[in-house]
């Protein structure tokens, strides 16, 4: 199966950030309930839009419908900081979502942060291999059902930052990254792992993202987000402010 990319991705434009979060919550629930063969495997992202999404998912009426016990939670990336650190994606997600729902602890896979970034990246790849059941990615058997992504003002996504060696990594599923324009070492999924997905969904909101989104949609090769592909589909779920002129195109 050939992968879909950012230039052919579906663009879904909603009124505001609240509408984006609610749309994503409903879509995730539908996807999870539809998955009957094996676990529902999702890679979550950090940031303000996912924060609202996770609050919706933790609401009792929603949480009661979600098949948590057959859901495996991974993270697209995280800062290489202790789980208690205020900048930890895992901490934020735990407080708002994971600790609020009936999710078995063994189904939650935070990115380790006790060793070197490189060592912890290798440990995280091993955790993915364990759930996937193979050391090699098999076409048409995606590693992830859903990969959630955001997009930074420099065009980075996950912790695929400009100018960093991780952008050239094609063998490993998980790698370390030390951005030159943001704090903390990072551990992130690579392009190879993200590609092995049924769906990649970018959650993007705010007028500050409009120019960058337009450049990514046009395939600007200088931006890390432009190189995201999926075996399945790539979707941009945005509010009107972030879509800008694209909403009319």
Give the containing element (helix H, strand E) for 189: strand 186-189
- Which residue has better confidence, 245 or 199? 199
User: Per-residue pLDDT tens for 113-148?
Assistant: 999 999 999 999 999 999 999 999 998 899 999 999
Q: What are phi and psi for residue 136, nearest 5 degrees?
A: -120, 135
pLDDT of 247 reads 75
* Residues in contact with 2: Cβ distance below 8 Å, sequence separation at least 6, in sequence order: none
Q: What are phi and psi for residue 135, nearest 5 degrees?
A: -85, -10
Instruction: Give the single-character DSSP code of 175.
Output: E
For residue 155, which of 248, 227, 87 has the smallest C-alpha distance? Answer: 227
Pairing between strand 77-79 and 10-14? unpaired
Residue 3's pLDDT band (cuts 50, 70, 90): low
The arrangement of secondary structure in 4-149+164-196+209-217, i.e. its CATH architecture, is 3-Layer(aba) Sandwich (3.40)
Phi-psi region of 34 (alpha: psi -120 to 50; beta: other; left: phi over 0): alpha
pLDDT of 2 reads 44
With a cut of 50, say whether residue 167 has pLDDT above it. Answer: yes
C-alpha to C-alpha distance for 222 and 227, rounded to whole angstroms: 9
Entry pTM: 0.96
Q: What are phi and psi for residue 118, nearest 5 degrees?
A: -65, -45
User: Per-residue pLDDT tens for 168-212?
Assistant: 999 999 999 998 988 899 999 999 999 999 999 999 999 999 999
């Amino acid at each position: 199966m050939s992968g879909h990319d950012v230039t052919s991705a579906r663009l879904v434009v909603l009124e505001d950030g609240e509408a984006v979060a609610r749309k994503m919550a409903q879509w995730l629930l539908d996807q999870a309930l539809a998955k009957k063969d094996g676990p529902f495997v999702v890679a979550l992202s950090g940031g303000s839009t996912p924060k609202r999404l996770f609050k919706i998912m933790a609401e009792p009426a929603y949480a009661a419908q979600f098949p948590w016990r057959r859901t495996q939670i991974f993270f697209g990336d995280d800062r290489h900081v202790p789980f208690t650190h205020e900048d930890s994606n895992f901490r934020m997600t735990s407080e708002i979502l994971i600790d609020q729902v009936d999710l078995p602890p063994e189904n939650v896979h935070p990115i380790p942060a006790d060793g070197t970034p490189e060592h912890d990246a290798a440990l995280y790849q091993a955790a993915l291999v364990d759930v996937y059941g193979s050391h090699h990615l098999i076409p048409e058997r995606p590693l992830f059902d859903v990969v959630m992504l955001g997009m930074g003002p420099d065009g980075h996504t996950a912790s695929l930052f400009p100018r960093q060696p991780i952008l050239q990594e094609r063998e490993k599923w998980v790698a370390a990254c030390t951005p030159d324009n943001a704090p903390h070492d990072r551990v992130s999924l690579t392009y190879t792992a993200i590609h092995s997905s049924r769906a990649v969904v970018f959650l993007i909101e705010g007028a500050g993202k409009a120019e960058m989104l337009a450049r990514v949609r046009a395939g600007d090769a200088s931006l890390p987000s432009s190189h995201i592909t999926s075996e399945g589909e790539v979707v941009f779920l945005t509010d009107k402010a972030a879509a800008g002129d694209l909403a009319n195109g």
